[in-house]
Structures are given as C-alpha cells and as structure tokens.
Structure 1
Amino acid sequence: MKEENPLNYMFLEEETVNFREIFEKYLYHWKWFVLGALLAIVAAFLYLRYTPNEYLVSSTILIDDEASGGLPSELSAFEDLGLMGGTKKSIDTEIGLLKSRSLMTRVVKDLGINATYYKKGRVRTAEVYKTDVPFNINYFSKDSLVYKLDTTFSIIGVSNTNFKLVAANGEKRGEHLFGEKVNTAFGAMIITPKSVTDTFVNDELLIKIAPLKSVVESLRKKLAVELLFKKSSLIALSLKGTIKLKSEDILNGLVEQYNKDAVEDKSLIGTNTDAFINERLAVIEKDLSNVDKGVEQFKTTNKLTDIPSEATLVLENNAVLEKKIVELNTQIKLADYVIDYLSNNEEQLFPANLGLKDGNVNLNSEKYNELLLERNRILKNSSKKHPIVVNLDAQINQLRASIAQSLVNLKSSLNISLQQANQEERKVHSRIFSVPKQERQFRDIQRQQQIIETLYLYLLQKREENAISLAVTVPNAKIIDAADGSTIPVSPKRKIVYLAALMLGLLIPFMVLYIIFLFDNKVHSSKDVEDIIKAPILGEIPKTDLEQKMVVGEHDRDSIAESFRMLRTHLNFMLSGVKTPTKTIFVTSTVPAEGKTFVALNLARVLALSNKKVLLIGADIRKPKIHEYLNIDFDKGLTHFLVDNTLKLKDIIHHYKEGSFDVLSAGIVAPNPSELLMNGRFDEVLAYGKENYDFVIVDTAPVKLVSDTLLLSQHSDLSLYVIRANYLDKRLLEIPEKMYKDKLLPNMALLLNDVDVERGYGYGGYGYGYGGYGGYGEEKPKKAWWRF
C-alpha cells in the first residue's frame, strides 16, 4: 500500500494579495510606460507651443461712497446751496452696472473689437491688435448693419500698393489697390495701409467680423467684477485674454464709460435747473423793462424830479412795511412759478433751492429728485414693469402730490400775510393825506420795479451757483490701479499641463495593460494554479527558445536544465513512500501542446543522468510525438505490441544512446486506442518495465479529450500533471482540480511548463529562474533594452 505523501499538503494555505507581484507584472512593461510618458510630454510641449497664452489683466477702482469709506467730499463748501446732496450708492448696484450689457456694448463699439484680425503662420494663426494690424478698414454700410455681420475674409499683401481679397471659402475675389472702393457681399469698404513703407507683402491676414451681441456676451462672461475687501468700496475688475493690450483697453474703456454715465446722471439735475432759471429770467427781463419804461413815462408826464422832503418821516416809517410786502409778493410769485412748472412737467426734475421759505417743500423736492434719478437709472437696464420701478413710481407720485399741496398751503399763508401787511400800510397811508396823488402813484410803480428787480437778481445768483455745481461734478469711480497684466501667462498652466500629460502618459499604458490582464484567462504562474488546485506543485520549467527537444545535458547548467534537476529532486521526495524498487510515473496534461512529451523526454534524461535505468513509454497512441522529438523512425512500437500477441517487448524497445535511456515509441495511430489499451497487453509492458528498470515514465494522452489516461492510471505511482503557462485557459483548471479532488489520478502532482520568468511569472511571482541565481547555471544573454 502507498503511504500518503507529505507534499500533498503543500500550498494549502491561502495567501494574501501580493502587491509586489502585481507591481512587477506591470514593471516588466516599463518600456511602454517610458514611451507613453515621452509621447505625452512631447504632445504637451506641442500643445503649449501652439496654444495661445492667456494673460490676466486687472484694474482696481474706488467707488464714491462716503458711508463705506469712499471718496471724501471736497465740495462740502457748496452744501449750504443744496447742490451736493445725493443718495448713498449700493456697491452691489455699481458692480451690476459695471457688468451691464449696455456698458460693454459701448466699449466694444468704441474700440471696434467686433472685428478681430489674425496673422496666418505656417502652423497656427495668431491674433494681432492695434499697431500690429498694418491697415485700416472703412465700411460704407451703416453701423447697425456692420454690427450684425458674421463673416470672415482674408487680405494678402501683393505689393506696397496692391492686395488680394480672399473669401472665407478660399475663393479669390481679385486684386485691388489700397484706397480703392471694394464691393463685397456684405457691403462696400475701403482698405488703407497705416504705413506706406512698412507693408505686409506676401503676408495673409484673416479678418473675422462677429455680431456685436455675441462679442459683448463673450466679454461679459470673461469679465470678473468683485469687491476687493468686504467692508470697503474697492472693486477689482479682471479679464483674461490672449492679447494683454486689448484686455487693458477693454477694462480702461469700461471704467471710462462707467464714469461718463455717472457724470451725466449727476449733471441731469443741474441741467434741468439751468433751463428753468434761464426760462424765468427771459420772462422777468421783459417785466422789468416794462416797469422801467412805466417809471420813465410817469415822471415825464407828471414832471416829477424829487420826493417832497415833508414826506420823508412818513415814508421812513412805511419802509419796513414795504420791505415786508416785497418779500411776500416775491414768495407768492415763486410759488406761482413752481406750481406752473409742476403742472406742466410731470417726469422732469424739480428745480432745487429756489428760495421758498417752506421747509417741507424743499425737503420733499430733494427727495422727489433723488427718487426720479434712481428710477431713470434703473430704467436704463429694465422695464417699467420692474417691481423696483413700480415702487419708485408710487413714491414719486405721492411726493408730487405732497409738494403740490404744500405749495397751495404756502401760497394761502403768504396771501394772508400780504393782506395783513396791506392793511397796516393803508393805516400808514392815511397819515400822509397831504402827500400828492402823483407821489403815491409813483410809489406803486416803484414797488413793482423793486419786486421784479429783486427776483431777477436772485435768479441770476442761482444760475451762477448752478453753473459752479455743473463745473465741479466728479465721477463715481476713482482709478486706484490702471488696467495692467503680468508678463507671465495664466493659461495654459505649463506645470499643470506637463504634470497632467505625464500622468496621462503613464495612465494610458496602465489602463491598456489592465484591460489586457483583465481579459487574460491564461495560466501564467504557480499562483494562478494554486488559487484553484491545492495539489502540490513540483516545479516550473522555464520558457526556452532552443529548437531541440532534449534540453538537459550532462554538463548543462542553464536554467531549464537546473529546473529538471529540481524536478528530479521533488519526484524522489514524492516517491519516497513507494516501497517497490521500480517507480512508475505517468505524464499527462489537459489538452495537447502543453509539453507533456517534452517533459517526459527530459525527465527520462535527467533521471538517467543519476545512473538510473529509465524506460520511456509513448502511451499517447492517438497523437504520438516521441519519434519526432528524438528524430528517430522506429519500425514498431506500442501499438504493434498491443495488436500482435507474438511480438516480444525486447524487440520493440530501443536504446536512445544520446539520452542514456530506453524508448518504447507509440507506433502507428490505431483506430481503436481505448480498446487496445484495455486488452491486457499494456499490463505486460508495465510488468516488464518494473522488472528491468528503476523508472518507467509513461507519456499518456490529454485527459480532457480522451479517457486513455484514466484507464491506465491505477498502474501509476505518481501522476505528473503538466500545465503549460501562457497557453492553458484558467477555466480548464477545473479538470485537474476535479481529478485531484476525486483522486482519479493516483498521487497527483503538478508541473508548470513554459514559464516566462522574464515577465515576472516565475515561481511565487518573483521573476527569477534557477539559472543565474547565486552563481548557479549560465545566464541567458540579455536582450537589448530598446527592443520591445
């Protein structure tokens, strides 16, 4: 009875994931990683070389907002005139105005950047701007039509005086003179060079005209407007662009347009006040002229030269009352003027600080003007149905009604005061009954003259004050830092691009290899076998490029020879429990071409080198290979013996001198191999081998295709199951696993053949064979590093 071999329990312990094995599996393909990284770096270099650089241009402005720490008011001296009042500005509102479509539209129109110019190069086309554009284009079409164009054309300089016009589709539109009117599909135009001497001969410039709306929206998306500090009025504007000068012009133009709008808004009250004062002065000038003529006519008619001295005292007492009457009449006149202006001008600003002595009227007038200005400002970028506009309209109507009522009340109180003053004056006049009638009439005329003259001088003063207010109007924004950009581009970021390219260059080979490994179902290493089959593995036979099948020589010390010597050692250990002097070893595999005949042949050779008598039997009578491998044409073999009962074994067993062992070849291919092997004659072959040899090695058929091996397996002392690496599908490992589990093959052990140790598929995944380690064996010449 055979004893249980201790190697049957080898490799039963589950192993953890071997990260070193995985790393070395990828490391074997290091050349692909290096190639991928180099190609990625080259691609990144070309990308950076031909991708236009983008520069960040920024500007900082200070918004005039005293409540938020903005500009101090240098015009506080005019506050007593009521000319510098105004509402506090919201920083968020100002940021919204700076990003508004209308503001950016005016900037694009002023700079004319809806048309962009590009200079064609050999590889890429680069944008040029301002002084780099060698010519000017004047369009005959209206601006409204030019701003809607979406077209492209090219101009090629032919000489100092001529150029060619090329359409977007490459069609040439003829040769023209500079300054000549050129008719195109989108209208007529004239092209003039900026310099007569410095022309662009043989250079091609591409002109792209884009719709104004699309250019504005593109710039608005690129524009960043944000508060520099949380509790400040500093606003930072930034813009990215391929041409730094162009971005600087856009930001500077944006601030300029913003200040221009702010100054116009602030000047609106003063402009309306000036128009009102001039209108009233024109009327009063006529009244004053008529009064002066009346005085002249009265004195001429009545032959008056001086006031009687006797009326001096009475007139002095009456002077105070007359002054009061003049002031009251002036206030009544002003009230009438303002009431008339308020009724005839519904959406106009209310004249400020005309001298009415009613505090409510002045206060409501200031609030009315502030709300009307805010309404008009918001209405520029919205409609009348906007909730804020509707709310402001309601407040404006309420203030307008309040001002009208206040003026009516003021006029009523002034009339009452005037009546009282007239009564007092009549009392005084009764005391001067002796004054001639002419003198009294003259005083009436003179009083009218003083009233009109006082009002005239008052309006002249207000006009000068209003002119001062208009002259010193300050903008909303003070430029702290003019638009400027760094010489270092912000995009593309060179370090990030190179880093991303390097990572991509390493990732792509990794992903390709990962996919290859993922869909690779071949057996590569002992670990692949151990994960499924718990049978002992006696060794690994390295891959060889040698053409001869006999690879073990007496003096060979290369890795493959050493691997067969190691296999011999393990076999002796596996067969240590066999008590019979002769050991029978069956060699089989799952499918053909796994190298079982190759293993059997070299196993016989290595056993013979240890001074053992070895018989090699070719039992694979369906597809024999031994005679091909040994390059010997045997006359008769096993098939002949099984068929012919008169044939003797010693007549068909041949000695292979080069291998120092005997060979019983398979013979001819029989039509009924299974029946021949079961006829009992094969038992005689094994019995003969046990009587005359130390080792009998039987090369049997693959177990997946036929049952020949299983029919003979009871005669085996050890079943050597050959698995070819990089050839056998892992799914077929279920067959040897079932063989081992169900003990269909006695004392079954595994041998991994054709292992590619250079790829890291050696035993345990460490990637070295038996040769060249620790000085044992001869090293195989290394392949040049550049060969893939």
Structure 2
Amino acid sequence: MELMESLPAVKKKKLNIKKEVFKYLRYWYWILLSMLLCFVGAKIYLRYTTPQYLSKTSLQFPQSKSKTAESLADLANGAGRADELQGEATAIVSKPILAKVVGQLNLNVSFYGIGAIKENELYTSSPLEANVIEVQNPKFSSASYIISPSGNGTYKLSEGPLKGNKDKFQFGQLVSLPFGKVIIKIKKGKKSFEPIKIVFRSTPSLVSSLESQLVVALPPDKGQMMDISFTGPVPSKSEDILNSLTEQYNIEGKKDRNMEAQNTQDFINGRLEIISQDLSGIEGEKEAFKRSNEITDLDTQANLAVNNANSNTNQLIEYATQLDLVNSIYSLTSSERLLPSNMGLSSVTEGYIAKYNDMLLTKNKTLKQATAQNPSVVQLNRDILEMRDLIRQNLVESKATLQLQIAQSKGQLNQNRHKIYMYPTQEKVFRGIERQQNLKEQLYLYLLQKREENAITLAVTAPKAKVINPAYTVGIVKPEKQNILLGALLAGLLLPVVILYAKYVSDTKIYTKDQIQTSVTDALVIAEIPESPKESDLVSANDFSVFAESFRILTSNLKFILKSKESKGQSDVILVTSSVKAEGKTTVAFNTAVTLAGNSKVLLIGADIRNPQLQRFVAGSDKGLTDYLISDDTSVRPYIVPSGLNENLDILFSGAMVPNPNDLLEMKKFDEMIESIKHTYRYIVIDSAPVMLVSDTMHLIEIADAILYIVKSNFTDQQMLHFADEFKQTHNLKNIAFILNNVKPENSRYGNKYGYGYYTYSKV
C-alpha cells in the first residue's frame, strides 16, 4: 500500500498474468499429485495393454499389363491408370479373397494363453489345433471356451453351453457345439498343456474384421506400386495374412484373366462382323441428311443467323427507345410549357422545338412588362400555337416511321430466330450420324488391335501383381508410449487447473482491490485493511503492527481527499458506510477515528441507530444521539463522552432504540448539531447504517465531506458492488472512496512478499 499523491480516477486494470499464475501455483502440491497419479495410470495402462505391430507388403503391377488395362479403361469410362489401380486396391481386399485367406490360414480358430490380467494369442506356439467342420447356426458370430487336459487323450470344455450336457471329449473326435461341429487335436510331440482359451469365429465376422484392419495405399510418384499394411498383436500372424492375401489375389487374377481373355476373343470376333456391316450404311445416311436440309457448313450458318438476330434485337431496342421518347415529348405538347431539346430527334423537329422554346421564353419576358392583351403577346401566342402544331405533326410522323421500322425489325428477327431454333435439331441429328461413324471406325480399328493383344494375353501366365517386398513387420505402432505419457502428464496438469478455474469462476465474492476497480466506475480505493489480530480489533498507541499501519495509510490517503476539497475553515465530516451488515464498517470507523485522534480532536458518532456496535469497543453510555434529538436540549455536549482510549477522541453513542431512526436523522436539529460541533473537532467520523438495507444513511451523504465505503474481502458479493456503483452514479458522488477490509496477505496488492510498515525494534 502506498500514499496517494494525486486523485485521478482509477482506470480499469489489465490482466496481471503473474498474479493469475501464482493464484494457481498456490495449489502446486495438488497439481503435482495429479500429474503423478496420471503418470502412474499411464504406466499401468502401457504395462497391461497388448502392443499392436504394423506389418507391410508391397506389390508392383507389370507395365505392359497396365498399358493394356489403361486402354480398356479409356474405352469403357474414360478413366486413367489411377482409376484402375484404385479399383485393384478395392478388389484385393474384397470379401471373396478375404474369405479364402481365412480358410487357408484357418483363422476361424484362435488360441489364447490365460493370464491374470490380459490374454496373449498363441498363434504358432499353441499345443493344440482345431478346425470348424460345419456351422449350423447362421447367426453365429463367435464363441469361446476353456480347454483343460483331463488325461488319456481327453480334454474338457467349459464356459459355454454344450449339446448333450457333455463337457469331456477325445482329441480328434467330432464335437457338436451350439454353433456347429468342430475337431480339436493335440499337436505331435505335445502330451500335456496348461488350460488355454479357444475362440471360434465365423468367416463373415472375420472378413469384416480383416477389412477394417487392412490398409491399401497407392504411393504417389512410385509407378505401378501398391502398399498393403496390417496392424495386429501377433507379427507372424499379420505377415501370414498379408502373404496369403497377395497369393490369393494372384490366383484369382490368373483365373479371371484367362476367363476374361477367352470371352473377350469370342466377343471381338462377333463385334467385328457387326461393325463391318454398320460402317457401309452410315456414309450414305450422312449424305442424304445434308442434301435434304440444304446444309453446307452447319456451324457457319448458325453463327450467321445468331449475328443477324443480335443486330435485329439491338435495332429493335433503339427504335423502341426513340418511340418512347417521341411519345413522352408528344404528351408534353398538350399544354404550353418548355420542351426538352437535344434528345436525338430529327433535325427538323429539334429546330422547331428550339424556336418554340425561344418564343415561349420571349413571351414570358414580355408578360413581365406588358399585359396579355398586348399586341406582341397576342402575336406570340399565335406563333407559339402554330409552332406547337408543327411540332406535334412532326412527332406524329416520326412515331409512324418508328413503328414501321419496329415492325420490319421484328419480322427479320422472327425469321432469324426460326433458323436458330431449327439449327439445334439439325445439329443433333448430324452430330449423331457423325458420332456413329467415328465410333464405328474407332471400334473397328480398336477391336483389330485388341484381338492381337488378347491372343498374347492367353499365352502369358505371369502373375497379376509382383511381390516386391514380402510381408515384414515394421514395429510397434500402438500404444504410442511417448504420446501417452506426455498426454497423461498434460492431463494431470490440466485437471486441477480446470477444477480451480471452475472454482474461481463460480466464486462471486470480492477478494482484491482490482475487483473493486473493475466493478465500480472510476472507483478510488484508498486502503486495504488486513485481517485484524485475534487478540484485539482496535489500534493501540505505539502499535506498529500491519493492522495498525494500514489505518495510518488510510488516514493519510483520506487527508489527501479532504485537502483536494475547497477549504471552509471548519472540520471535516467523514461518513463510514457499506452495502450490508458484517462488513467491518464499525471497526473501520472506530480505528479510523483512533488514528486521526493522534494529533487532532475527533468525534465519533454512532449513527447506526438500528444496530449500534460502538459499545463493542468501549463502555457505552445510556444516552446518546437519539436521546439528544428527541429532547429539548440545545447543546449536545452533555451527551458526548470521552473514549478513554485517547484524550483527543470523544464518542457520541447511538442512544436509545427508536422506531423512526430515519426521521430523526433527517431532523433540522441533527444538521444544526453537526454545524455546532464543527468548531470543536477537527474530524467528525460518522458510523452509519448499511445503505443497501435501510435508507437511514441517505441524509448523511449530503453533509459528508468524504464517504468511506467498506467492502469486506471474501464476504462482499459482486452484486453488492454493482449496487455500490449504481449508488455512486445515482447520487453523483465525487467524494466517495472504497476501503477493502479483512484482506488476506495473498489477496493484497503485494501478496505475501511485502507487509505494511518499515520498523525494526527489539523487546527490552
């Protein structure tokens, strides 16, 4: 807290980043504990999560095959090589191929080692092998059992309903389970084993699972390459799936290619015969169409008709505009007025209009000096009438001419439009004939070429795609250890911060000086009073505690406020109030009075008649302010008593309780009392009632030289500050200052780093 050197309006404070950060760092131990717990949780998760391995394989499609396929694709739908490879990427993971992979690797059956927390798949290390012979339930998806050895080449199945209520079976025996029939065998060289888990899955469910796990990519700028990747918990199983997938794809490709090639050969030979017959009749059809429609060059004739139509349209618009202009001027000739000139009419008409306007202007000038019976005016009237008739006659002739021109332009436009209307139909028919001719010619040449290429394809037995990189495992991709640990630390950091932020946001109480300056317009905060000592709420003589020093700074700042007011040569009246009760109003008023009494005469008046609190600090008198106001005494001196704390401090207690305290404080006698004691005391401190609860304090505002408005930290709600702001604005209070009471060190301006006072003393 510092002494005030001037009294400017306090501006709104910017966000104090350092203060906000330290507000959260106060709870560093919770943040550290949260980060530690999240880190340990992440470690446990990584310890018991089954790692997922990424396996890959690469295929290359032969260049010669790609060129042929690209030509066929261009004929079919205009797509390029990229579309063909995209189609192959879809075909290689098609359901039929994946179903064959499932059957080749016997993926319908899986074995798992039983652990305390997680289960590990026994892909090649399983002591057993099994096959699903028949699936009888079409809705079957999966089923799991525990296999336990029972001696003499038998085993038991548990954890699942079994047909016939039989759970002991012979290895190699056909077993009927609820979903179908299976055979379970023990591998050669294996005599005993620990109980293991066996899982049966249907082929459709496995195919769907493989579809979601297989990723096919076409690397850009790598030619005819295709990368296939698979992520799973067992690298060897993933590699076998990828190798089996490419093998089945090539097998199916060979079958499809041979079947396709033979069907293509038959198709090409049949199409060549038909196309040869069609080509002979198309040229004659084209010639007959041109002759019947008198067509030489369809595009040139169409362009000429469009240009003529555009020219006719422009002329029609121009004539219509002129006609509208003529009609407008003709309507103006119905009365004697000036006519517009230079409007693009004929030179004769424009000349008549110019003469007409000149004569009309001459007439108007003459009428200013002569009457309407003047011979000159009469002659001008005749001339104007004759000239107007000539103009009307010329306009009628122009109108007839324009109408004739419009009719001619419309006729020519209709002719050209008819030609244009016919050209699309003619062009459509002609283009159809040409298209058929070009198509037949291209098909004929193309089929001859494809017949030779197809003969070569039938003789070639190369695989559809070459395996460049057999299946190999890259490494672990899930879980990402580093990201999970960093994410856990970040979550551990953010979780308490978010909780603290929610706590701070939902807290509507006032804690700091900045909150007052933000909530109240131009708020002047002159003191921050710390929490009072537990032993006493009063400032004593030679008291150098933080609590006492805060009141010395308060009174110093208060004197600056009072000095800024115009001096009247009298004492200063200081009114102490607050929004509601229990904000420390009486404590601040009493200690302020005690501090001011160090070198000045001070009177403390208990004006909170409804709830007097001065007796908490000193022994009270039975008589006081209310007794004086309702008495006939003219002097208040008999009711004022010494405080006993300081010889310069006197107290006027509230007195007896009355039913109408507001009426008493508004009495003229009260104002006269204040004026009478101003000559005796340098400062008059008035402890008043809260302004938000009662109206007793309203009259005291008018006589106060300074108003101290108490706000209690960790008690006063922000809504009360809104009331204080409205109270200040409504009454246009220029002499109001705010005091933040009961402030904890961390909420003061300097936090825990600095305290009040600058004293060093030792106890003697």
Residues 1:737 and 2:725 aligned together: yes
In structure 2, do the counterparts of structure 1 residues 170 and 176 end up closer, same or farther at CA, with 3 Å as the change threshold?
closer
Tell me, yes or no, if the aligned pair for 1:674 and 1:708 is still in contact at 8 Å: yes
In structure 2, do the counterparts of structure 1 residues 171 and 10 end up closer, same or farther at CA, with 3 Å as the change threshold?
farther
Distance 1:639 1:230 in 2: 100
Give the count of matched residue pairs: 559
Residue aligned with 1:531, SS: helix
Q: Deviations along 1:346-383, whole A, 9 cap, x unmatched?
A: xxx8xxxxxxxxxxxxxxxxxxx8352xx6xxxxxxxx
Residue aligned with 2:55, SS: strand
In structure 2, do the counterparts of structure 1 residues 600 and 503 end up closer, same or farther at CA, with 3 Å as the change threshold?
same
- Residue 413 of structure 1 aligns with which residue? none
Aligned pairs (5 A) from 1:102-501: 102-123=96-117, 125-139=118-132, 141-142=133-134, 145=136, 149-155=140-146, 157=148, 164-167=156-159, 176=168, 179=171, 182-194=175-187, 199-201=192-194, 203=195, 205=197, 207-228=198-219, 230=221, 232-264=223-255, 370=261, 372=263, 395=268, 397-398=270-271, 473-487=461-475, 489-501=476-488
Tell me, yes or no, if the aligned pair for 1:61 and 1:480 is still in contact at 8 Å: yes
Stretch moving more, 238-247 or 44-53: 44-53
- Residue 61 of structure 2 aligns with which residue? 63
In structure 2, do the counterparts of structure 1 residues 657 and 527 end up closer, same or farther at CA, with 3 Å as the change threshold?
closer
Residues 1:752 and 2:743 aligned together: no
Tell me, yes or no, if the aligned pair for 1:562 and 1:770 is still in contact at 8 Å: no
> Cα offset for 1:92?
4.7
Distance 2:151 2:628 in 1: 106
Q: Deviations along 1:472-525, whole A, 9 cap, x unmatched?
A: 9543444332211133x1122222223333344444444444444444443333
In structure 2, do the counterparts of structure 1 residues 540 and 34 end up closer, same or farther at CA, with 3 Å as the change threshold?
farther
Tell me, yes or no, if the aligned pair for 2:745 and 2:751 is still in contact at 8 Å: yes
Unmatched tracts of structure 1, length 5 or more:
71-88, 269-348, 350-368, 376-391, 404-468, 779-788
Equivalent AA in structure 2 for residue 106 of structure 1: K
- Residue 586 of structure 1 aligns with which residue? 575
Aligned partner (choices 728, 738, 742) of residue 716 of structure 2:
728
In structure 2, do the counterparts of structure 1 residues 159 and 567 end up closer, same or farther at CA, with 3 Å as the change threshold?
farther
> Cα offset for 1:234?
3.4
Stretch moving more, 231-240 or 537-546: 537-546
In structure 2, do the counterparts of structure 1 residues 769 and 688 end up closer, same or farther at CA, with 3 Å as the change threshold?
farther
Distance 1:245 1:659 in 2: 99
- Residue 755 of structure 2 aligns with which residue? 771
Distance 2:161 2:596 in 1: 83
**Cα root mean square deviation, aligned:** 4.2
Distance 2:119 2:518 in 1: 62
Q: Deviations along 1:26-55, whole A, 9 cap, x unmatched?
A: 444545544443343334333333332221
- Residue 548 of structure 2 aligns with which residue? 561
Residue aligned with 1:9, SS: coil
> Cα offset for 1:749?
1.6
Tell me, yes or no, if the aligned pair for 1:563 and 1:770 is still in contact at 8 Å: no
Q: Deviations along 1:750-787, whole A, 9 cap, x unmatched?
A: 212233441xx434xx64575179x6699xxxxxxxxx
Tell me, yes or no, if the aligned pair for 2:217 and 2:228 is still in contact at 8 Å: yes
Residues 1:603 and 2:494 aligned together: no
Residue aligned with 2:124, SS: helix
> Cα offset for 1:7?
5.2
Distance 1:170 1:34 in 2: 54
Residue aligned with 1:214, SS: helix
> Cα offset for 1:569?
0.9
Distance 2:623 2:170 in 1: 103
Equivalent AA in structure 1 for residue 208 of structure 2: E
- Residue 713 of structure 1 aligns with which residue? 701
* TM-score scaled by length of structure 1: 0.61
> Cα offset for 1:156?
5.3
Stretch moving more, 590-599 or 686-695: 686-695
Tell me, yes or no, if the aligned pair for 2:620 and 2:653 is still in contact at 8 Å: no
Residue aligned with 1:37, SS: helix
Give the structure with higher Rg (CA): 1
In structure 2, do the counterparts of structure 1 residues 594 and 119 end up closer, same or farther at CA, with 3 Å as the change threshold?
farther
Distance 1:200 1:42 in 2: 36
Distance 2:712 2:482 in 1: 48
Equivalent AA in structure 2 for residue 619 of structure 1: A
Q: Deviations along 1:109-129, whole A, 9 cap, x unmatched?
A: 111223444444333x33403
Distance 1:195 1:181 in 2: 19
In structure 2, do the counterparts of structure 1 residues 613 and 185 end up closer, same or farther at CA, with 3 Å as the change threshold?
same
Aligned pairs (5 A) from 1:22-37: 22-37=20-35
Equivalent AA in structure 2 for residue 61 of structure 1: L
Distance 1:199 1:553 in 2: 93
Distance 1:90 1:505 in 2: 50
Equivalent AA in structure 2 for residue 44 of structure 1: A
Aligned partner (choices 531, 542, 545) of residue 544 of structure 1:
531
> Cα offset for 1:741?
3.4
Equivalent AA in structure 2 for residue 617 of structure 1: I
* TM-score scaled by length of structure 2: 0.63
> Cα offset for 1:174?
7.0
Unmatched tracts of structure 2, length 5 or more:
69-82, 277-456
Tell me, yes or no, if the aligned pair for 1:618 and 1:699 is still in contact at 8 Å: yes
Distance 2:60 2:720 in 1: 80
Stretch moving more, 102-111 or 179-188: 179-188
